[in-house]
Chains A and B, each alone.
Chain A
Amino acid sequence: MAVTLNAIMVIAVPAFDKLDSISFDQLLARQDPFGAARPLIDLHGVRLVTPAGLVKLAAALHAIARDGRTPTITQIDDSVRTYLMRSGFVSIVTPVAEFDPPFPSHVPNTFERMRGSNPLLIEVTKLESGKALPQLLNQIVGVLNRRFKYPKYDAFDAATAVSEIAQNTFDHNCGACGFLAMQVYGTGPKRFLEIGVSDFGDGVAATLMRNPKIGSIPSDGHAIRLATQLGTSAFDDPTRGTGLFHLLEIAFKHEGSVQIWSGRAKMRFRMDQKRGWEFTVPNLPGVHVAMTLRSKTSSHQRARKVDRK
């Protein structure tokens, strides 16, 4: 982007070319769309948007629109524009956001016809109830089982974890919904998949504090830690509060990595050490979970390397 300030041309060099679960906080910090009267998301320099980036962006745009403003997405690279259409993102956010330059009106429908045709991609899907989930979970099981060499029951484990976080998006929120997307990257032993699930609801802290047995929660980071403990829930109900706990257990079992973002805190769980690192990030409404799983081939190769040491 080139801007002229007092006769000096300032060229803003993008800090990242990939919008994913790591760089999304940089985008928010630089552009602060939640604080702007005319919110603008500038994707200048971005060459790749991952599923976690897509669903976070979709949730952010819906959150801004809920506040009565219409966000605009601008400076989109041509290849990214195509991907935003193919990934279902454009049709999901068109009711709440504008693109500059706009997409021709027929474009979203054209790409919508391709929805579900690629087993390695789950287009951005709106989650308002459990209705859409079985088909999405079956696709995840199929990819992990056939392409990632996961034994069937390991694939079921991963689908179970996704099911739990996806159900949280509509179980815990009124007037908001969730979004899910998945993409497979790489080939052979370097193959991995990323699944992103986001909503634009009240966030973990406010949700947990609906439970009268949970007192005040000092920070978003504390709330995320609480929510990953077995039996902690917005509901005072012993059959609740298992979703995020099982997500981490299952991700650890299959050497995946997980990121949970709520409010001003982001926690990354590295599963080789079964612990989480907390980061302070710009405020983002809702809860945002990203999970990465590698092909079993790469896990096995790494295990063999460790064995040899």
Chain B
Amino acid sequence: MIHNFPLHKYGRQLWTRDLARKVRAELHKILEKADEGDAVVLNLKDVEVFDFSFANELFGKTLFSLPAEFPGRFVLFEHLTPYTRENLINALEGMKLMAISRKGGTYELIGKAHPADVETFNALSQLRQPSTAANLADMFRVNLTAMHERLNKLVEAGVVRREASTSSAGRVQYLYAVPR
């Protein structure tokens, strides 16, 4: 399920850490209601600008806490303008964070992401269904340990979800998924 969280209701120009604290408290309530696999879309339609303090307090703190506080939930960014996108990427890179941007029906990994992270994320996104680490390792012709490392990094960043399932042989296996 997708939860829309429009930011323009707080203003077209989003200044200060103080404002971001208020917005984050409301975002927190939405995340608490979200189930595993759900995505909360930070909708930046009609938002012209935010300062770095706002970005760090709202986006940074939310993304840092997401994997531990709300495991399996996604936070996406949508309706970024070229300007807000550039500033968001600058803010994320400054905090060494990555995040998911949604445009149309496609997802893009932005921020401090290694090319291998982007490649893995894109592959999962294009598959349109959860996949095992073994399957992805085969796709990229890397060993399973290396693929596990890549996937763990993406899960810890909150941009990929890990879910337990049962293999055809009846064993527990983990599937990796991006928002659907």
B53–A243 touching, CB < 8 Å:
yes
Q: How far does the alpha carbon of A160 sit from the alpha carbon of B52 in the complex, in Å?
A: 7
B18–A238 touching, CB < 8 Å:
no
A238–B60 touching, CB < 8 Å:
yes
Contact bitstring B74-109, A, C-beta under 8 A = 1, else 0 = 000000000100010011001110000000000000
Partner of B83, one of A134, A138, A153, A242: A153
B52–A138 touching, CB < 8 Å:
no
A60 → B minimal CB distance (Å): 26
| Given A242-B56, A242-B91; A160-B49 close (CB under 8 Å) | yes
Q: How far does the alpha carbon of A133 sit from the alpha carbon of B52 in the complex, in Å?
A: 14
Q: Is B150 an interface residue (CB 8 A)?
A: no
A84 → B minimal CB distance (Å): 29
Q: Which residues between 122 and 180 of chain B lie within 8 Å of chain A, taking CB atoms?
A: none
Residues of B within 8 A of A238 (CB): 60, 64, 95-96
Number of A positions contacting B (CB below 8 A): 26
Q: State which size class the interface on B falls in.
A: 20 to 34
* A interface majority secondary structure: helix
Q: Identify the closest chain A residue to B60 (Cβ).
A: A239
Q: Is B35 an interface residue (CB 8 A)?
A: no
Q: How far does the alpha carbon of A164 sit from the alpha carbon of B17 in the complex, in Å?
A: 9
Residues of A within 8 A of B53 (CB): 163-164, 167, 242-243
A146 → B minimal CB distance (Å): 16
Q: How far does the alpha carbon of A123 sit from the alpha carbon of B64 in the complex, in Å?
A: 39
B52–A164 touching, CB < 8 Å:
yes
A281 → B minimal CB distance (Å): 28
A150 → B minimal CB distance (Å): 13
Q: Which residues between 11 and 26 of chain B lie within 8 Å of chain A, taking CB atoms?
A: 11, 13, 15-19
Q: What are some 10 contacts across the A-B interface (CB < 8 A)? A: A130-B15, A153-B49, A156-B83, A160-B51, A163-B16, A164-B53, A167-B53, A238-B96, A242-B53, A242-B94
Q: List the interface of chain B (C-beta within 8 A of A).
A: 11, 13, 15-19, 48-49, 51-53, 56-57, 60-61, 64, 83, 87, 90-91, 94-96
A-B complex: 7 closest residue pairs judged by Cβ atoms: A130-B16, A130-B18, A239-B60, A239-B56, A156-B49, A163-B51, A160-B51
